Amino acid sequence: MHVTSPVREPLIQGGKTYADVTEDICRHVEGAPTKEWKIAFGLSLIVLAYGSVCLAWTWWEGLGVWGLNKTVGWAWDITNFVWWVGIGHAGTLISAILLLFRQKWRTSINRAAEAMTIFAVICAASFILMHMGRPWMAYWALPLPNAFGSLWVNFNSPLVWDVFAISTYFSVSLVFWYIGLIPDLATIRDRATSKISRLMYGTFAMGWDGSAKTWARYEYISLILAGLSTPLVLSVHTIVSMDFATSVIPGWHTTIFPPYFVAGAIFSGFAMVQNLMLITRVVYKLEDYITLEHIETMNKVITLTGSVVGVAYITEFFIAWYSGVEYEYYAFFNRMTGPYWWAYWAMMTCNVISPQLFWSRKLRRSITFTFFISVVVNIGMWFERFVIIVTSLHRDYIPSSWAMFSPTRYDIGDYIFSFGLFFTLFLLFSKYLPVVNMAEVKAVIRSTSANLPTKIAGVAKVRQRGTAEPAFDKDKE
């Protein structure tokens, strides 16, 4: 007899059998692209093309086409870089940490969250190349043997730490994502009707045969990768925060940045997962797999991390006042009342006030409201990075060097490029790969489905939750 919780709602709705899971998730991979997918993909390509033109012009003319000046040397480029790295945090948390804690609700959303992580890190890396100005010399950031005498990277610089942290994060996330895909790729391989599909999916399935030994190795490597990935959730954005925390600029030189940045990254990452999954569940008709229970649970995480970020904002002001350093105090006072006051209060409204509305269960389970707040959170987190970077730079110790930053069309165009790249990659992923992990959903379906699949006399049937599994005569099977 299987025991299920009478308190929690089932994670898988509709009384799905194992065959239903395969059919529902493989349907969009095996079928022709829908009209909605073609429209979305076309729009993404248009956005990507426009952004690519702006990016090409930026590299051709130089960074002078941006709105930077002698005072504000970092602005939209680093703002967008930190924003995209933050968005990429939720995938690793969902896939690694929740796996180690055996949280079953992750199974329906981990695949798309991991893909989002990889694509977000690619977008973040594009801004590293952009603000170099000479992307063909990007390899100079690596400690490679060279013929330029004693020209080596400065290992004391957090910018070099960024290179190692982000490349490691990307590599481990990519391997983790791919390993999780292998059982599902084998399923699609076995169902393929064309030679090309069978060859392509079969190649990437790496000879998966579904044997007990294969599954044991799969579970083993998943746990190893989860253990390796878990420290990265904390380390990557910690190192990114040290780009600022190790400086002596008022507003940046603070020890609260590492935990504050990590909480903010998880906050914005979960908001982006919500946006993507709410659209995906409707377009691909996956409402039985991505349920209100998943949405409500992620909203709880958003509420928690939003509260942590709000406490960090308050702590920053307290430390600035308690330090007795007038420059530090002025940096934070200027954020709140200076020329960029609108950005600061937009940040506070979006990141601190709006997530608190999720204390209402009705709003927490509202799909429309969840989508709206998730968009608001990501807008607020972008403003947070803008406020930290630009308002700390535009007024320094010497009033004669004070300056304002205004973005140009190329600042905006390069940002648009990253959106085109992200959604183009995500749409390709959602069409040609299963967006829900079939193997893991099947592994938990017996304890999380509203109706549990059973087998009687060789026929797959469905029984209600809470009823005993009928005994069946082995001689008749």
Quick one: DSSP state of residue 10? P
Higher-pLDDT residue of 429, 135: 429
* pLDDT at 133 > cutoff 70: yes
Runs of H (alpha helix) within 246-366: 257-283, 292-323, 326-337, 341-348, 361-364
Tell me which residue of 155, 95, 83, 168 sits closest to 124, measured CA to CA. Answer: 83
Task: Confirm if 425 and 126 have CB atoms less than 8 A apart.
Answer: no
Q: Check the CA dihedral 74-77-78-80 and report its sign.
A: positive
* pLDDT at 456 > cutoff 50: no
Q: Which distant-in-sequence residues (6+ apart) come within 8 Å of 113 by Cβ?
A: 90, 91, 94, 95, 273
Query: Cα separation of 294 and 61, whole Å?
Result: 47
Q: What is the mean pLDDT of residues 217-225?
A: 91
3-state secondary structure of 63: helix
Tokens 């940040």 label which residue? 347
pLDDT band at residue 8 under the 50/70/90 scheme: low
3-state secondary structure of 247: coil
Q: What is the mean pLDDT of residues 154-163?
A: 86
* pLDDT at 344 > cutoff 60: yes
What is the pLDDT, as a whole number, of residue 470?
41
What value does the mean pLDDT of the chain take? 86
Q: What is the mean pLDDT of residues 154-158?
A: 86
Residues in the chain: 477
Tell me which residue of 466, 109, 433 sits closest to 291, measured CA to CA. Answer: 109
What is the pLDDT, as a whole number, of residue 302?
93
CA distances from 33 to 39, 51, 187, 236, 430 (A): 10, 25, 20, 37, 10
What is the pLDDT, as a whole number, of residue 469?
43
Task: Confirm if 283 and 291 have CB atoms less than 8 A apart.
Answer: no
* Kind plus residue range of the DSSP H or E element containing 231: helix 212-245
What is the pLDDT, as a whole number, of residue 458?
46
Query: Cα separation of 180 and 160, whole Å?
Result: 31
Query: Cα separation of 427 and 316, whole Å?
Result: 40
What is the pLDDT, as a whole number, of residue 6?
55
* pLDDT at 2 > cutoff 60: no
Distance of CA 13 to the CA centre of its chain: 26
* pLDDT at 331 > cutoff 70: yes
Q: At what angle do helices 18-30 and 409-432 cross, to 10 degrees?
A: 130
Residue 464 φ then ψ, to 5°: -75, 150
What is the pLDDT, as a whole number, of residue 468?
42
Q: What is the mean pLDDT of residues 448-472?
A: 47
Token readout for 389 is 């970077």
* pLDDT at 105 > cutoff 90: no
Q: Check the CA dihedral 267-269-270-274 and report its sign.
A: positive
* pLDDT at 215 > cutoff 60: yes
Q: What is the mean pLDDT of residues 366-383?
A: 94
* pLDDT at 417 > cutoff 90: yes
Tell me which residue of 121, 85, 91, 88 sits closest to 106, measured CA to CA. Answer: 91
Tell me which residue of 164, 169, 309, 160 sits closest to 243, measured CA to CA. Answer: 160
Specify whether the backbone of 140 is left (phi greater than 0), alpha (psi in -120 to 50) or beta. Answer: alpha
Q: What is the mean pLDDT of residues 166-190?
A: 91
Query: Cα separation of 420 and 413, whole Å?
Result: 10
* pLDDT at 471 > cutoff 70: no
> For 270-309, what is each residue's pLDDT tens digit?
999 999 999 998 888 888 888 898 899 999 999 999 999 9
- CB pairs under 8 A, 24+ apart, for 398-407? 401/70, 401/71, 402/71, 403/69, 403/70, 403/71, 403/72, 404/72, 404/339, 405/67, 405/68, 405/69, 405/72, 405/75, 406/67, 407/66, 407/67, 407/75, 407/76
Angle (nearest 5°) at CA 192 between 189 and 197: 80
Beta 459-464 vs 451-456: how paired, if at all? antiparallel
pLDDT band at residue 35 under the 50/70/90 scheme: confident
Task: Confirm if 242 and 257 have CB atoms less than 8 A apart.
Answer: yes
Q: Name which of 150-164, 376-390, 430-444 the model is least confident about.
A: 150-164
Within 10 angstroms of residue 395's Cβ, the number of other Cβ atoms is: 23
Task: Confirm if 401 and 109 have CB atoms less than 8 A apart.
Answer: no
Portion of the chain with pLDDT greater than 70, in percent: 92
* pLDDT at 186 > cutoff 50: yes
What is the pLDDT, as a whole number, of residue 460?
47
> For 238-275, what is each residue's pLDDT tens digit?
999 998 999 888 888 888 999 889 999 889 989 999 99
* pLDDT at 410 > cutoff 60: yes
Query: Cα separation of 339 and 364, whole Å?
Result: 35
Q: What is the mean pLDDT of residues 204-219?
A: 91
Query: Cα separation of 58 and 77, whole Å?
Result: 12
Query: Cα separation of 221 and 127, whole Å?
Result: 32
What is the pLDDT, as a whole number, of residue 477?
40
